[in-house]
Amino acid sequence: MSVIVKGMFVNEGNQDFVLHRLKFDVNELSELLIAHKDVFEANKGKGEINILRSKKINPETNKPYVYASLSTWKPNAEVNSGGEKVEVSQHLASREADDDLPF
């Protein structure tokens, strides 16, 4: 899932070595970051903003619009059928039994 970053504008660079310029409204961006604090906490303090190309064409430039989108993906904690969190060491623990070897 993702959310469009309102108040952030992606423009083409004005020099060969500048691919894009990001302009943003500080208040809107800070509100967005606060509103999605749970996403950043679930991702160990990291976030991701993707720069995307729209299907719509800008009539002034005759090129697609480019916009920013905040990823709201959160990793799921794996749980067993009893609703308890499964630790990495517990994954396929039964397969490590010596009597289960095929040879």
Could you tell me which residues come within 8 angstroms of residue 17 by beta carbon, excluding any fewer than 6 positions away?
A: none
pLDDT one-digit tens code per residue, 40-73? 999 999 999 999 999 999 999 999 999 999 999 9
Q: How far apart, in whole angstroms, are the C-alpha atoms of residue 8 and residue 62?
A: 21
Instruction: Determine the pLDDT at residue 99.
Output: 60
Regarding pTM above 0.75, the answer is no
| SS3 state at 53 | strand
The predicted pLDDT at position 50 comes to 94
Q: Would you state the pLDDT for residue 89?
A: 65
Task: Record the tokens describing residue 70, joined without a space.
Answer: 């905040």
14 pLDDT higher than 60 = yes
